[in-house]
């Protein structure tokens, strides 16, 4: 009978690199668990050899059948098949590159041309490929890049790398031109319906444009701060000057004109209270003054009242103070005279009548009498008349 030969146990391996060597002698064949015997004669151990070594041509798994043959001393042959299965079921091992934290490229809302590094992968049988799904550009936020390492049997492993992009670029803002205006009529402020719109821009997008403009602008300079904020919270500001000027003069109504006689015994009047003007202003009155003298001479005196507001605007009005002299001058006649007729005449002439004593609160303008050139015998009454400068 032919020899009976039994192959060692089938072998299961994962990598072709681990493929066991062909048995080249019976001893190694039997050491690994193979058997060979013959019932009739002795085995010819030197005849042990590999008859065929055939792969099924598949992969994962790939089955290799090795047929061994041995003869006995009678020339009878025995054969056996040793099966080796190659099937890689082990996933690769991979380490992703470190996470990255980046800023957006200037003027753009993403990061471009980013070097994200390389993953490192190993496999028991060898890595076939390492790929990732990295985009060309990385938007603001976190982009997760998935790296995949695959071996020749399709076993794969994934790891994740986070690319975080932050927008730190401030938006730009150009304020509207400053405004110069005047107060609203009768008010100490200006209301401005439209102070303009700033020019803004941002690499990602503007979210809000705000200002701290008041509803009314007081006299002076008001600084309006404009603030632009982008969609990621970055903000920038500029300032606009609103200049309001008060050019409205105050109003003034003078007290009534006054007509009064001079004080007794003097040629003027002292008036303690000539009245108070009525004044108003859209802001407020700073001062009310006049050029009123301490006393008023005979005649008309123009008192000019001036009102000035807190912003330097002023107005004037005139009040007329009229002082009349109603006080009569005083006169004391010279003493009476007794004289004789001129020699050879029935009258007297060349008599020195003397000078009366006169006085006036202002001044005496004229003193005269009705004395005749000659005085007849008897009593002649001479009337003296004094007149002051105002006709009293």
Last residue of a domain, one of 20, 53, 86: 86
307 and 348 within one domain: no
Residue 99 shares a structural domain with residue 72: no
Q: pTM for the complete prediction?
A: 0.72
Position of tokens 């089938």?
Answer: 10
Query: What is the reported pLDDT for 359?
Result: 96
For the stretch 262-283, what's the b/e string if a residue is b when 16 or more beta carbons lie within 10 angstroms of its beta carbon?
bbeeebbbebeebeebebebbb
196: tokens are 């303009």
Shared domain for 229 and 290, answered yes or no, is: no
Looking at residue 159, which CATH number applies to its domain? 2.60.40.10
Hey, what are 100's tokens?
């990255």
Domain stop point among 230, 245, 260: 245
Q: Say yes or no: 297 and 337 in one domain.
A: no
- 350 with 319, same domain: the answer is no
Q: What is the structure's pLDDT at 247?
A: 98
Give the pLDDT score at 41: 79
Which of the residue ranges 34-48, 267-281, 287-301 would you say has the lowest mean pLDDT? 34-48
Reported confidence tier of residue 1, pLDDT bands at 50, 70, 90: confident
Of 86, 111, 126, which one is at a domain's C-terminal end? 86
Q: Count of domains in the chain?
A: 5
Residues 50, 79: contact at Cβ < 8 Å?
Answer: no
Q: Do both 8 and 77 map to the same domain?
A: yes
Query: For residue range 164-192, what is the model confidence (pLDDT) as tens digits?
Result: 999 999 999 999 999 999 999 999 999 99
Say which CATH number the domain at 200 has. 2.60.40
72 in the same domain as 23: yes
| Res. 276: pLDDT tops 90 | yes
Q: Is the domain of 264 the same as that of 298?
A: yes
The Cα–Cα gap between 333 and 341 comes to 23
Residue 353 and residue 375 in one domain: yes
Task: State which residues form the domain around 362.
Answer: 330-388
């Amino acid at each position: 009978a032919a020899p009976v030969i039994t192959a060692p146990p089938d072998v299961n391996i994962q990598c072709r690199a681990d493929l066991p060597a062909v048995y080249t002698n019976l001893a190694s064949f039997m050491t690994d668990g193979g058997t060979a015997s013959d019932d009739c004669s002795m085995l010819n151990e030197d005849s042990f050899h590999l008859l065929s070594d055939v792969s099924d041509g598949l992969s994962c798994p790939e089955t290799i059948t090795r047929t061994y043959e041995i003869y006995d001393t009678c020339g009878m042959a025995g054969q056996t098949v040793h099966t080796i299965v190659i099937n890689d079921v082990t996933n690769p091992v991979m380490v992703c590159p470190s996470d990255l934290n980046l800023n957006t490229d200037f003027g753009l809302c993403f990061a471009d041309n980013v070097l994200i590094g390389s993953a490192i992968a190993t496999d028991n049988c060898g890595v076939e490929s390492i790929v990732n799904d990295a985009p060309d550009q990385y938007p603001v936020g976190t982009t997760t890049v998935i790296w995949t390492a695959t071996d020749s049997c399709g076993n794969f492993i994934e790891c994740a790398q986070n690319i975080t992009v932050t927008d730190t670029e401030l938006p730009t803002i150009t304020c509207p031109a400053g405004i110069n205006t005047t107060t609203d009529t009768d008010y100490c402020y200006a209301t401005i319906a439209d102070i303009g719109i700033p020019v803004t821009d941002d690499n990602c997008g503007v979210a809000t444009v705000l200002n701290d403009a008041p509803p009314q602008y007081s006299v002076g300079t008001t600084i309006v701060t404009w603030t632009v904020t982008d969609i990621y919270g970055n903000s920038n500001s500029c300032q606009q000057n609103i200049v309001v000027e008060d050019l409205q003069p105050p109003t003034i109504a003078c007290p009534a004109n006054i007509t009064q006689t001079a004080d007794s015994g003097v040629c003027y009047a002292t008036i303690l209270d000539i009245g108070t003007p009525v004044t108003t202003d859209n802001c407020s009155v700073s001062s009310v003054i006049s050029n009123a003298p301490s006393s008023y001479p005979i005649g008309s005196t123009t008192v000019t009242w001036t009102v000035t507001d807190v912003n330097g605007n002023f107005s004037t009005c005139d009040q007329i103070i009229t002082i009349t002299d109603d006080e009569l001058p005083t006169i004391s006649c010279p003493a009476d005279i007794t004289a004789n007729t001129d020699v050879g005449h029935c009258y007297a002439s060349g008599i020195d009548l003397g000078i009366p004593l006169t006085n006036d609160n202002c001044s005496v303008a004229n003193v005269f009498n009705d004395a005749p050139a000659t005085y007849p015998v008897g009593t002649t009454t001479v009337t003296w008349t004094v007149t002051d400068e105002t006709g009293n």
